[in-house]
Amino acid sequence: MKLNKILNPVRSCALVAMCSLAALPISADEAFSPYVSESGDISFPEDFRLSMTHMGSWFVPDGGASGFHDVYTERATVEAFRETGKFPDGATVVKELRAHESGSYTTGQGVSHSTEGLKQWFVMIKDSKGRFADNGVWGDGWGWALFKPDSQGANAAADYKADCLSCHIPAKDNDWIYTEAYPILNK
């Protein structure tokens, strides 16, 4: 047995038959999400482009949100959704907004591609246990966050009901997610 297993109370519980619950850390939910603090603050998932799976994209032709909306989630979330039809507890959904340019290519006219112009990121983290009832960015089964390029360190949303929810009402029956753009969630 490796020393760190002996010293780590959580892991050693799996190995020791008589294991008191008091040995577990009080914060407990380290396994819930690497992007959520004990008080429910949501941090920017820095590594998402390499560590997650591309679920699908939207293209918005005009306006402030114009460009590609590329949406990512964990591979394990896709696998769980395919089994259960639901987003599992702790699932992360990241939407990245990228500017676009259009031009003529050998495939046709008016072909659009994304550029290096990053606009902002929307993040949702599935919470099926109502962990952070006192925190204004948690509710209706999710944590809700907005990150901007000049302030990636802090969630720019403070009240998900005012900042997010009304725009997601058309997707309410799909757990607030616009699943029609994510065919990979189905086998």
> Is residue 151 within 8 Å of 28, Cβ to Cβ?
no
Using the rule CB under 6 A, which residue among 36, 48, 52, 69 binds ligand HEC? 69
Give the 3-state secondary structure of residue 154.
Answer: coil
Using the rule CB under 6 A, which residue among 35, 81, 87, 122 binds ligand HEC? 122
Cα–Cα nearest to 94, from 59, 133, 46: 46
Binding region for ligand HEC (CB under 6 A) out of 5-13, 37-45, 106-114, 156-164: 156-164
Give the contact letters, 82-101, x = binds to ligand HEC (CB under 6 A), - = no.
-----------x-x------
- Count of alpha carbons within 13 angstroms of residue 164, beta-carbon side: 24
Q: If binding means CB under 6 A, how many residues of this protein chain bind ligand HEC?
A: 19
Surface-to-core class of residue 137, CB atoms within 10 Å of its CB (0-12 exposed, 13-18 middle, 19+ buried): buried
Binding region for ligand HEC (CB under 6 A) out of 2-10, 22-30, 78-86, 165-173: 165-173
- 58 near ligand HEC (CB under 6 A): yes
To the nearest whole angstrom, how small is the minimum distance from the Cβ of residue 58 to ligand HEC?
Answer: 4
Binding region for ligand HEC (CB under 6 A) out of 27-35, 40-48, 112-120, 141-149: 141-149
To the nearest whole angstrom, how small is the minimum distance from the Cβ of residue 124 to ligand HEC?
Answer: 4
- 144 near ligand HEC (CB under 6 A): yes
One-letter identity of residue 51: S
Using the rule CB under 6 A, which residue among 20, 167, 173, 183 binds ligand HEC? 167
Strands (E), the chain: 53-60, 67-73, 92-105, 108-126, 138-139, 142-147
**What distance lies between CA 5 and its chain's CA centroid?**
30
To the nearest whole angstrom, how small is the minimum distance from the Cβ of residue 170 to ligand HEC?
Answer: 7
Tokens of 42: 């949501």
